[in-house]
Structure 1
Amino acid sequence: MDRLSELEVFLAVVETGGFTAAARRTGTSQPAVSKAIGALEDRLGVALFNRSTRNVTLTDQGRRYFDRMKPLLEEIEDANREVMGSGADMSGSIRIAVPTTFGRLHILPIIPNLLAEYPSLRVDLVLSDLRRDMVEDRVDLVIRVGAVEEPDAIVKRVASTSLLCVGSRQYFEKHGAPSEPAELARHNCLVYGGFEEVANWPFVGPKGHFSVAVRGNLTSNSMETIRAGVLAGVGIGMFTKASLVKELSHPDVVTILDDYVQATRDISFVWPKRRLVSARVRRVTDFLAASLEGQF
């Protein structure tokens, strides 16, 4: 078996979870798969798999090798399809991670069009407000709203969205509406961001940029939770405009302190730093970017 075939067998074992399943995928026998993996491990001088009677799992070296070799083989497959005149046939999978609210409002509606454009594509869409490790979680593309904290990542900024300070008419009728940011200190402000009880919300005044420390009786690492609390009249929240697409036209939703809130947040596509990004990921990225253009 040549070296490229060994790599294809290696990927099949990882993705199917076993030698027998990999043999079915590659159209070979289980002994042939074992032989190919053994030859690859001997050539590399490391064990790629932990083997037991029940399952096969990657070693740390195997995981790193998989993360580097998968996009390389995908690029080879894409190049072969282009040469054979089938470049638009994007078979295979892509895993996309996106914040929950942004994903629900802006990415989910695009997915049917993406799959219609590329029927052979398989999309694994992960909606989570947790910051995911792109390599460890085997994520091909991350969509970020706000700062990108991965220093080695490849970042493509595609849009920006303004911040808004928002409450419900129900809340303001009961507690009054602040006329300047400092008054937020006496209001119930719902804090997004996890375990922090206090948040520093950014504002701009005659003397430049400043922040106000706010707190309230509800904190969460889920933007959906904070959004629901504000809409129910529990307190005041700070959101990106992209998180409140429909609510801004609702008669019970009121933006406040508009003259003081001028900050924006970037919307970026992020890839883990690899030697190359597969054509599949590039095409999906271009499709999503074009679909999002002008929305914010």
Structure 2
Amino acid sequence: MDRLSELEVFLAVVETGGFTAAARRTGTSQPAVSKAIGTLEERLGVALFNRSTRNVTMTDQGRRYYDRMRPLIEEIDDANREAMGSRADMSGSIRIAVPTTFGRLHILPVIPNMLAEYPKLRVDLILSDLRRDMVEDRVDLVIRVGAVGEPDAIVKRVARSSLVCVGARQYFEKHGVPSEPAELTRHNCLVYGGFEEVANWPFVGPQGHFSVAVRGNLSSNSMETIRAGVLAGVGIGMFTKASLVQELSHPDVVTILDDYVQATRDISFVWPKRRLVSARVRRVTDFLAMALEGQF
């Protein structure tokens, strides 16, 4: 068995969970699978699996090897399909992580069209405001709103969204409307960012850029929570316009301090630097970038 076939057997064992299932997937026998894995482990000088009479699990070395080899094999498969003239026949899985609110508003609506164009594609969409470890969680594509933060990542900025300071009309009827940023210290400002009780909101005035430390009775690591609180009249919030595309035209939602709010946030596609970006991921990226173009 050649080295490429050994790798395909290795991937089959990982993804099916056992030697017998891998044999069915690859059309070989269980002894042939066992021999291929043994040869691969001997050549690498490491154990890729922990074996017992009941199950087969990956070692740490096996997991790292799988994370590096899976994209390479996918790239080979993509190249073969393109060489055979089936470029549009894109199949396989892709795991995408995106912030909850942005994903619900801007990514979920285009997924049906993407699956219609690529019916053999399998999408695992993770909606979460938590920062995920791209390698450990085996994420193929991360969409970030704001700073990326991963120094070893590959980043492609695809759009930019302005910030906006907003509140519900019912809140301002009770508490008044701030006429300048410093007055926010006397208002209930809802803080996005997890355990932070205080947030520094950015503004621009005659003297240049400055920030105001704000606080309130509700903070959360979920933008959906802050958004719901603001719309319910609990307090004031700072958002990207991309997070309020439907509400900004509603008469009960009021933007404030517009002359002072000039900052923007990048919307970026991010990949792990040490992972090969497969043709499938590149095509999905291009599809989503085109779908987002002009929205902000």
Q: 1:34 to 1:231 in 2, by over 3 A?
A: same
Q: Summarize deviations over 1:103-149 as a string: whole Å, max 9, x none.
A: 00000011011111111110100000000000000000000000011
Instruction: Report what 2:285 is aligned to.
Output: 285
Deviation at 1:31, TM superposition (A): 2.2
User: Structure 1 residue 263: deviation in Å?
Assistant: 0.3
Distance 1:209 1:58 in 2: 52
CA distance in 1, matches of 2:253, 2:56: 53
What is the CA distance between 1:243 and its match in structure 2? 0.3
Structure 2 distance, partners of 1:266, 1:149, is 12
**Alpha-carbon distance in 2 for matches of 1:54, 1:97:** 34
Quote the offset at 1:57 in angstroms.
Answer: 2.4
Cα distance in 2, alignment partners of residues 108 and 74 from structure 1 = 25
Q: C-alpha deviations, 1:229-278, integer Å up to 9, x for none?
A: 00000000000000001011111100100000000000000011136311
Equivalent position of 1:67 in the other structure: 67
CA-atom RMSD, angstroms? Answer: 1.0
> How many pairs align?
296
- Unaligned 5+ segments in structure 1 are none
Between the aligned partners of 2:220 and 2:29, the Cα distance in structure 1 is 51
1:42-94: CA deviations, max 9, x gaps? 11000112223443222221121111111111111011111111111111100
**1:24 to partner: Cα distance:** 2.0
| Partner residue in 2 for 1:52 | 52
Shift of 1:20: 2.2
Give the 3-state SS of the residue equivalent to 2:248 in structure 1: helix
Structure 2 unpaired stretches of 5+? none
Equivalent positions of 1:206-225 (< 5 A) are 206-225=206-225
Classify the secondary structure of the residue corresponding to 1:200. Answer: strand
2-structure distance, mates of 1:182, 1:54: 65
**Cα pair distance change 1:16/1:178, threshold 3 Å:** same
Note the C-alpha offset of 1:30: 2.2
Question: Alpha carbons of 1:55 and 1:235: their partners in 2 closer, same or farther (altered >3 Å)?
Answer: farther
TM-score relative to the length of structure 2: 0.98
- Give me the whole-angstrom Cα distance separating, in 2, the residues matched to 1:137 and 1:290: 26
Distance in 2 (CA, whole Å) between partners of 1:250 and 1:22 is: 56
